[in-house]
């Protein structure tokens, strides 16, 4: 059965390591007949959540006028959500955290999703990715029936493109094929 797959690519580097892994995942998922969209967050205007609380009193509508409403609609409509981040100081980058915070107005509607996480880092230790992954899990633990289905470790990649030719690239493609 064809699934709606939404890939959220948070690196500020287009064609960076996590973004290349997203493309591999996308290739696999498309080849398997799924409907796939990648959103490169840097192309979108997503402001910080201000914690104003207005969304709690007005039926889940954020008062900010930026691109987050469109991204949230897509997250809610997706069957599968892929969250990809570069590792910055052993956690997710600010772009990804900003997106997560802005789901505040409608996160209860992000239900029954399969989640995949993609991380890219200079460090070659998988264990060192744990805090970043825990950050993602902190988010998915707040959602209804979120399932963690897979992780791609883009480790040992510092410069843009270092990930090319690595096992992680093949794994991302294979994982995408099996969504
Ligand atoms: C601000 C900043 C902080 C970083 N912190 C870490 C870190 O804590 N651990 C690590 O292994 N790599 C760190 N890196 C390296 C990146 O994770 C690495 O370059 C990665 O490939 C970036 O992914 P991208 O190409 O998808 O943007 C850092 C890079 C930057 C720019």
104 CA to middle of ligand 1, Å? 27
Q: Is residue 160 within 6 Å of ligand 1 at its C-beta?
A: yes
163-173 confidence digits (pLDDT tens): 999 999 999 99
Q: Which residue's alpha carbon is at the smallest distance from atom 19 of ligand 1?
A: 158
Helix extents (H) in 46-166: 54-57, 68-77, 94-101, 130-140
Q: How far is CA 29 from CA 23, 129, 173, in A?
A: 10, 24, 8
First to last CA, the chain: 10
> What is the pTM assigned to this prediction?
0.98
Q: Could you tell me the distance, in angstroms and rounded to a whole number, from the CA of residue 90 to the centre of ligand 1? A: 8
Whether the CB of 48 sits within 6 Å of ligand 1:
no
Residue 159 confidence class, pLDDT cut points 50, 70, 90:
very high
Contacts of 92 (CB under 8 A, 6+ apart): 10, 85, 132, 135, 136
> How confident is the model over 93-140, as pLDDT tens digits?
999 999 999 999 999 999 999 999 999 999 999 999 999 999 999 999
Residues 77, 133 contacting (CB under 8 angstroms): no
Which atom of ligand 1 lies at the shortest distance from residue 19's CA?
26
Q: Which residue CA neighbors atom 14 of ligand 1 most closely? A: 88
């Amino acid at each position: 059965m064809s699934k709606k797959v939404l890939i959220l690519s948070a690196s500020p580097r287009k064609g960076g390591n996590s973004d290349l892994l997203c493309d591999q995942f996308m290739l696999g998922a498309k080849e398997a007949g799924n409907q796939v969209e990648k959103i490169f967050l840097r192309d979108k205007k997503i402001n910080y959540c201000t914690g104003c609380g207005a969304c709690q009193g007005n039926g889940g509508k954020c008062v900010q006028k930026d691109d987050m409403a469109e991204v949230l609609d897509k997250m809610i409509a997706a069957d599968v959500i892929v969250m990809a981040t570069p590792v910055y100081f052993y956690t997710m980058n600010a772009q990804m955290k900003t997106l997560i915070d802005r789901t505040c107005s409608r996160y209860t509607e992000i239900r029954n999703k399969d989640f995949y996480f993609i991380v890219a880092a200079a460090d070659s230790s998988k264990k060192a990715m744990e805090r970043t992954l825990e950050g993602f899990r902190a988010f998915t633990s707040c959602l209804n029936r979120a399932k963690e289905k897979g992780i791609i470790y883009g480790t040992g990649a510092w410069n843009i493109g270092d990930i090319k030719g690595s096992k992680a690239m093949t794994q991302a493609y294979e994982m995408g094929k099996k969504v």
